[in-house]
Amino acid sequence: MLENKKVLFLRDVYPDIDLIIIKYRMKSGSFDGTEEKDYHVLKIHPDFRYDFTIRCINRDCKDGGFDLFGVILSAIISKNDKITGSATCEGWEDEERIKKHRCMSDLFYEVSILYHQDACQDK
């Protein structure tokens, strides 16, 4: 089933969305406490993959990372155009610490969703 999975693009799923902007910064878990001061900016255009995963700041992290899919989906459903929040990585700190120590990096995000002003206009 997985191998037949078609790549979905944002426009296939939500044709009414012009752009999704994800601004985020991270703070690493207990091991060194690195905190990013500046935001990374991800711009997801209609012809980009329908995928909102962000890799963990901790390069050794196992099975971690962040998926903003649920957050963005609920914003779209409630017609919200701005969401801010945070999440904690649930991966493992590194290979040696699998099942022993969680990664615990934090992600701080701001998501803006731009809908078409008038869906008929640009057709």
28 scored as a contact of Zn ion (CB under 5 A): no
Q: Which two tokens stand for residue 60?
A: 């050794």
The amino acid occupying position 54 is I
Shortest distance in whole angstroms from residue 115 CB to Zn ion: 32
Q: Evaluate whether 36 touches 25 at the Cβ level (below 8 Å).
A: yes
If DSSP states are collapsed to H, E and C, what string results for 64-109?
CCEECHHHHHHHHHCCCCEEEEEEECCCECCHHHCCCCECCCEEEE
Shortest distance in whole angstroms from residue 87 CB to Zn ion: 10
Of residues 17 and 56, the one with the C-beta less far from Zn ion: 56
Shortest distance in whole angstroms from residue 105 CB to Zn ion: 5
Residues 61-120 that bind Zn ion (CB under 5 A): 61, 64, 89, 91, 103, 105
Distance CA(59)–CA(105), nearest Å, equals: 11
> Which one of residues 20, 44, 56, 107 is an interface residue with Zn ion (CB under 5 A)?
56
Query: Residue numbers of the site for Zn ion (CB under 5 A)?
Result: 56, 58, 61, 64, 89, 91, 103, 105
